[in-house]
Amino acid sequence: MKYYIGIDLGGTNIKAGVVNEKFEIIAKASTKTLCPRPAKDICDDMAKVSIEACKLAGISVDDVEWIGVGTPGIADNINGTIPYSNNLDFHDVPVRKYIQAHINKPVYVANDANAAAYGEFVAGAAKGAKNAVCITLGTGVGAGIIVDGKILTGSNLAGAELGHMVIEVDGPQCTCGRKGCFEVYSSATGLVRMTKEALAANPESAMKDEERISARTAFNYMRAGDATAKQVVDDYIKYLAAGITNTINIFQPDILCIGGGVCNEGDPLLVPMKEIVKKEVYTRNSAKNTEIVIAKLGNDAGIIGAAFLGNAHD
């Protein structure tokens, strides 16, 4: 049996998992990232939790084929560095060198959204596809693109930023500096914003009784028959469908999978969204259209994808 280590580096936690060749996580370990602090200290802790995960799995680090790291920001797998991560305040961090000072194994690095997408590609909802796109609807909109089984990073290593394609010119301000981005409308943050705006314009809505507006609020009150909530949901689905249609038109993947908490809404989200996409996608008359599915791996996608990064690059 072959074993691999996948590290999911986040702004809050560092998580490492030992993954076997069947894509099963057999042990995990974690520690707090404790940002801001020196990058070397964080990389040292990545090595430490990797060693701890191996102990919990009952294996030695010598039994591991390689280590993969999924990180926020830009990842340079050729040089084994993280050129920039605003969340971690990383600038040209030699992550491979730092980890190999503790564990003498090959170290691969990828953007965290790309790593999660690769996890879905090798072991989740996009398994069996040749070309796939995975979109995560969270605080922002993250994405990963797999072409011919390889992660698409672009010439500047920052490809797949689908959340920052504009779907409404001069729409609401996005954190990236542009206005009207896909992320502004289709993230959980965007859904909360639209819900609050709708409630401010329609104070008679039953949603006024909600103590804290969340990404679930509009869907919950829509099911209860609230007209304002239904309009919010309809608008959200319209924008989500626009971004997904754009993505399909550009990449024509075999499978497009979407993840994130909002996907737990199930059919009230998926059925009308798929209907819009079916009507608008350029290949609407094709016998082989992109299959839209829900991501399967949840929070494990990043660890599993990172663990197999040795196969993800040319």
CA distances from 182 to 12, 103, 145, 219 (A): 25, 40, 16, 20
Confidence at residue 86, expressed as pLDDT on a 0 to 100 scale: 86
What per-residue string of b and e applies to 249-288 under the rule 16 or more CB within 10 Å gives b?
Answer: eebbbbbbbbbbebbebeeebbebbeebbeeebeeeeeee
CB 223 within 8 A of CB 232: no
Task: Please tell me the distance from the alpha carbon of residue 22 to that of residue 301, in angstroms, as a whole number.
Answer: 14
pTM of the model as a whole = 0.91
Task: Please name the amino acid found at residue 71.
Answer: T
Helices 227-251 and 188-201: angle between axes, nearest 10 degrees: 150
For the chain, which residues score pLDDT lower than 50?
none
In this prediction, residue 287 carries a pLDDT of 66
